[in-house]
């Protein structure tokens, strides 16, 4: 758990206790979990730390499970799945179904589209807005929640 020590507050050079507290990533994570109605359990904090401390990323349950093992976070793959889905329902993550067998979770929940590098199984954010053509009219009583575009890439011949 040594990795959970706040480094950002030290960098700020502030001696003010409340400021240092506000700059603590674990404290911020706890607040973030509470804000969306999730109790900040030890497992949620550990997994949340692995997920959110490295900037925007795309990760599968298996990838996060492996990271948790390496960081000696005692969780099962089932717990990782559950936590990812709880985070997604709470709006902390965005789930992307790339193909039938694999779900990626995006820590960037703002609207954006993706490249998917086939073979490398890698998702990359599309840095520009994509003009999505004429969308179909949804059935009565429904509205379009969002449009996810995945542009599949392969090595140019």
Please count the residues of this chain forming the interface with Zn ion, following the rule CB under 5 A: 3
Q: Which residues contact 90 (CB under 8 A, 6 or more apart)?
A: 33, 36, 37, 38
* 148 counts as binding Zn ion under rule CB under 5 A: no
Stretch that binds Zn ion, among 29-37, 123-131, 132-140, 143-151 (CB under 5 A): 123-131
Closer to Zn ion by CB, 4 or 63: give it. 63
String marking each residue 73-112 x if it binds Zn ion according to CB under 5 A = ---------------------------------x-x----
**Closest distance of CB 91 from Zn ion, Å:** 15
Q: Are strands 114-117 and 150-153 parallel, antiparallel or unpaired?
A: parallel
Other Cβ atoms within 10 Å of 50 Cβ, number: 21
Closer to Zn ion by CB, 61 or 75: give it. 61
**Closest distance of CB 4 from Zn ion, Å:** 26
**Closest distance of CB 125 from Zn ion, Å:** 4
Closer to Zn ion by CB, 15 or 110: give it. 110
Q: Which of 125, 148, 150, 153 binds Zn ion (CB under 5 A)?
A: 125
Per residue, the 3-state secondary structure of 13-51, as one string, reads CCCCHHHHHHCCHHHHHHHHHHHCCCCCCHHHHHHHHHH
What's the count of helices (H) and strands (E) in the chain, helices before strands?
6, 6
Residue 107's nearest CA partner among 10, 9, 7, 32 is 32
Q: Residues interacting with Zn ion, by CB under 5 A?
A: 106, 108, 125
């Amino acid at each position: 758990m040594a990795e959970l020590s706040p480094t950002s507050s030290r960098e700020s050079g502030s001696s003010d206790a409340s400021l240092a507290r506000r700059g603590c990533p674990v404290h911020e994570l706890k607040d973030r979990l509470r804000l969306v109605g999730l109790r900040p359990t030890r497992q949620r904090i550990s997994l949340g730390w692995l997920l959110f401390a490295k900037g925007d990323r795309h990760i599968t349950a298996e990838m996060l499970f492996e990271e948790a093992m390496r960081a000696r976070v005692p969780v099962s793959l089932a717990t990782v799945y559950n936590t990812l889905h709880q985070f997604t329902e709470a709006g902390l993550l965005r789930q992307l179904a790339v193909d039938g067998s694999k779900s990626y979770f995006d820590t960037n929940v703002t609207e954006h589209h993706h490249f998917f590098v086939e073979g490398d199984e890698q998702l990359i954010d599309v840095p520009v807005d994509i003009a999505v053509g004429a969308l179909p009219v949804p059935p009565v009583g429904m509205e379009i929640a969002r449009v996810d575009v995945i542009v599949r890439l392969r090595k140019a011949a």
